Structure 1
């Protein structure tokens, strides 16, 4: 599957069922796959496919930060356009051009295209319609982004997709004139958890058995008379990538018709899903080293939001030089998170939670919504004393507050990591008082606007009465705890010589 065809907005009847009045929405975390892009590698030029695609008008409108005085006192933007250079005859340098000679809109490999910007902008507009217009959960106009956690993987297409979606949700008309630059969190590749940990994790690597399908359709275009296999060159997943990329764009970049044979595409997609994601469904260790760190982050932000410890992402985005008492706008909670990631991120999470059975490869601009609710009247705990069990004296209360803040604020307004609280404790480690803080809270997952049910949440006492899609926070945390690594990098170098899969299947979602 390539471009996502979004469903119509929820009707009022659907809203009433999906968002019952006895539950109050408390935190929303959206993980979105980037929009349409050019292929990550040049493939099938022998089938007439152009190596360079003319679908990136952003290349004519680029800007970079420029220092204009050597004492760091003056900064500005340098506007520029990009042209790609490549090799010509006898290795002479020539400009890369599209199928019709285009040179100013040529995409780099794996770059977000005009279509990808369009669809991620539209996703932001859909999120605004739901959470602002229909649910009244987020404000119509914002003066800062201190209640919004923005994050992206190191790949530019993920960052640009987050920016487009944020713009769609809060265009200029929905921001005040004094709106400051929002904070977008990124990580270095070796610390990134927004995609499965396959490139830097030795334990994660697993070679699938060779397969011999599809050669009657497209084998004649395989390089060097090779055959189509899972691990061929290009890999089967790479063939699927090129097919989907071409389908998301114009007729100037199309493959021969056999590549689009419906039966052949179904086989490629099914095998691709099995190759990439079966491990998450069948192995606890696979889940742990592959996607467990991201799942742990999602749950930690939920619990941090419940206990108001700063672990919901507020510390990362608050203030110009770190957290200044609260966010720039005085916010004490994150209400909305938007993280730019990848198809493999969404599918790995769903498979690890037992929710990907029978699903197809996530289309471009797919998204996962992790929604946290509290039951009407549920008592929220607060580090600043809003509903905290207060000490007997005002002085003791002041000391309690200062002690809580000192766990994650350093001197001079610089932020330190929040390490206390219950966000990073496993459910088994929680005492009765800590467990009580989770009561009255529920988690619901929507995949492309469709609720999904975690198998372990179907058990008695693990969900909201009458609706299995609302998992209790305690049950959801316990399920995720089972594959959240204690030391992510250490797990990647453990059990190197052991089989990649267990002798018996360890199903996800329990």
Structure 2
């Protein structure tokens, strides 16, 4: 009898232990993801302890943005570019009037986008970054009805073998380094929907003859850009239930087939070295940067020489700002990262970018040469429209900040600020019949703002004559003191 009770007792204990082990395993899988199986539990435990010691986080969380607010985020939070479904209503039904395009017919849109919100590319002195879930939460699903429709569609899509078997949308327990987050997918999804409202619903881009052949989509071979292209196009073509094949692209978006030019420019090496006579940054700016680095070093308990780049610091901190996570503190020294410090960093980075933009002639020459093939490709596609020999109406290029910023510099409309997540630059080609002839005009839209008048080659016109753009394409290298592309790159 006693032996039977003992056996039952042992059986209960074993069952309880099995349940505890199962629950613990389920929790760890949810917390850390599938990569847990390839790493020892002790390493994860040490990582957790290390993060707690190095980042003694504040009990008060920083919620800098209010999504119900009508005002846009300021300072460094501009970079986050939080998903805003209310922006879809702005200008709805009034695009011709707002853009001054009454009487014009939209013929072609070529758009460059930067991918949406991602996890950091860098770590700061090997300190771990916060883990961000790569599963859509209720928060993302409730942003807009199209998000649920997008998730449902993407769940039935297979990984793309042409894109190294990348998944079409964020769907992992947590986002790996430099991966698109669900928030980033929502950003580009809403941008695609906004483009649909403008170009398809209001400006009748496709007319009554929609076809997938009228669309070209190109993306660099990274999860964050490929998934952003998927999200954007799902929003853009939501009424057509269409899927467009995405073509692979280089980081500089150069296509030998579409531009007729060779992509690898060996002549760029001539301009890689900084100019000896480049104007030095002001002493006050240099001092401000040094003081900021010292403050960061103090908070992170590291040597100031370990801080190689302010952009790396910004990259590691913005994941916290863009996801309302608490910032690092050093309680022993009574110092913390806060919004003021983040805005200071944003300002210092802008100062550095503007200094390079205005005074580093070699950098500008590099951008003009590297992105000349993309400029030519866009021009040739527009030229084919003017000759009525093109069926293409919409082109999407999904790239990076290092794609968009140089192209903005080339056009002469870079504002000196790090390109925010999910930014977009659109080159719109319009036609208008005047005196029995068809004339063509160009508009440049950056993040929803009309920048056409700011382009020097447009001569202050709100509707830029296509021939002025043609002249710019043919002369921008010479204006920069460069010879033609072939002789600069391959002679």
- The interval holding the TM-score normalised by the smaller chain is 0.5 to 0.7
**Relative to 1, partners in 2 of residues 1:182 and 1:264: Cα closer, same or farther, differing over 3 Å?**
same
Deviation at 1:65, TM superposition (A): 6.1
Distance in 2, Cα, partners of 1:19 & 1:82: 39
Alpha-carbon spacing, 1:455–1:185, altered in 2? closer, same or farther (3 Å): same
For residues 489 and 163 of structure 1, what CA distance do their matches in structure 2 show? 35
Alignment of 1:43-442 (within 5 A): 43=124, 46=127, 50-51=128-129, 53-57=131-135, 63-64=158-159, 105-138=173-206, 142=210, 144-171=211-238, 174-175=240-241, 181-188=243-250, 192=254, 201-207=268-274, 211-212=286-287, 213=289, 214-221=292-299, 225-227=303-305, 233-251=307-325, 254-256=327-329, 257-258=336-337, 260=339, 261-274=341-354, 277-278=357-358, 285-309=365-389, 332-357=390-415, 359-376=416-433, 440-442=439-441
2:425, 2:446 within 8 Å by CA — same for their partners in 1? yes
CA contact (8 A) 1:29 1:369 kept: yes
Q: Distance in 2 between matches of 1:442 and 1:79?
A: 39
Instruction: Give the Å deviation of 1:157.
Output: 1.2
Spell out the pairing of 1:5-16 with structure 2 (5 A cutoff): 7=87, 9-10=90-91, 12=93, 15-16=96-97
Counterpart of 1:440 in 2: which secondary structure? strand
Distance in 1 of aligned mates of 2:116 and 2:168: 24
Which residue is 2:81 aligned to? 4
Q: Which has the larger Rg?
A: 2
Give per-residue Cα distances to partners, 1:302-358, cap 9 Å, x unaligned.
Answer: 11222244xxxxxxxxxxxxxxxxxxxxxx51111111012232222222222224x
* 2:142 counterpart residue number: none
CA contact (8 A) 1:57 1:114 kept: yes
Deviation at 1:474, TM superposition (A): 0.8
Does the 8 Å CA contact 1:2/1:364 hold for their aligned counterparts? yes
The answer as to whether partners of 1:197 and 1:204 remain within 8 angstroms in 2 is no
Of Structure 1 and Structure 2, which has the larger fraction of its residues in helix? 2
Report which stretch shifted further, 200-209 or 153-162: 200-209
What is the CA-CA distance between 1:113 and the residue it aligns to?
0.8
Conservation of the 8 A alpha-carbon contact between 1:204 and 1:492: no
The unaligned stretches of length 5 or more in structure 2 are 1-77, 137-150, 257-262, 330-335
1:139-167, CA deviations, whole angstroms, 9 ceiling, x for partnerless residues? 6995x411111111232211211110000
Instruction: Report the CA distance shift for 1:113/1:66 in structure 2 as closer, same or farther (over 3 A).
Output: closer
How many residues matched?
362
Matched, 1:478 2:477: no
Is the 8 Å Cα contact of residues 310 and 345 (structure 2) preserved in structure 1? no
Between the aligned partners of 2:304 and 2:108, the Cα distance in structure 1 is: 51
Post-superposition CA distance 1:159-204 (Å, at most 9, x none): 2111100001113x522xxx5x52222135687479x999994345
1:87: which partner in 2? Answer: none
Q: Distance in 2 between matches of 1:234 and 1:441?
A: 48
CA root-mean-square deviation: 4.2
User: 1:5-54 CA deviation, whole Å, 9 max, x = no partner?
Assistant: 565521555531414222111111111110000111222554xxx43623
